Amino acid sequence: MEDGTRGLLAFVAGQSVFIAALIHLVLGVMNWLRWIQGGFLLPRDFRWPVFVVSALVIFAGLYVASYREHRRPFYVGGILVMGGYVLGYFVWHVTGHRPLLLLGNPAGAETLSVQWFLDHLFAGLVEFASIFFEVVAIVALAVLLVTDEDSTGD
């Protein structure tokens, strides 16, 4: 892959990861603050602290990766984290909006269908943007991983 193309792809991947993390940080802080204002340091809905911590870890990873020559571990980590965000969004809905992620009483059962998937994908601008940037990041990072000179021997 040409250096210019690879640089552009790395830029798209980095920006997509940053935007996805920023969305999660803002959602996490806004919703966690509501719980704190209500007198709960640890909210009953555990997504918000997880969003904040994971976003901060992603920002740290982006910073560290920017100074590394060999970025394969960061590509793999980015793919796993972005995939975790996408999978987590749909699993949380499928399992009934449990307050402690996979634990706790479900709010209700949902039936999987194409319509269900589309309804959740297009539930709102923030949800769609988050999933969009996560998927773009996964694809860009996967291409960077596969075409990395360390793996191809070029």
- pLDDT above 70: residue 57: yes
84-90 long-range contacts (CB < 8 A, ≥24 apart) are 85/20, 85/24, 85/54, 85/130, 85/134, 86/131, 86/134, 86/135, 86/138, 89/120, 89/127, 89/130, 89/131, 90/117, 90/120
**Distance, CA of 56 to CA of 130 (rounded, Å):** 16
pLDDT of 102 above 60: no
**Torsion-angle region of 98 (φ positive above 0: left; ψ -120 to 50: alpha; else: beta):** beta
pLDDT at residue 94 greater than cutoff 90: no
Q: What is the pLDDT of residue 84?
A: 93
Please indicate whether residue 140 or residue 43 has the higher confidence score (pLDDT). 140
Which residue is listed with tokens 């602290």? 49
The pair of structure tokens assigned to 110 is: 């949902």
Mean pLDDT across 61-85? 94
pLDDT at 154 over 50: no
DSSP class of residue 102 equals T
Domain ranges of the chain: 3-152
The predicted-structure confidence for 23-41, as pLDDT tens digits, reads as follows: 999 999 999 999 899 988 8
The more confident residue out of 130 and 98 is 130
- What does the pLDDT average to over 112-121? 67
Asked if residue 97 has pLDDT above 70, the reply is no
User: Phi/psi of residue 151, each to 5°?
Assistant: -95, -25
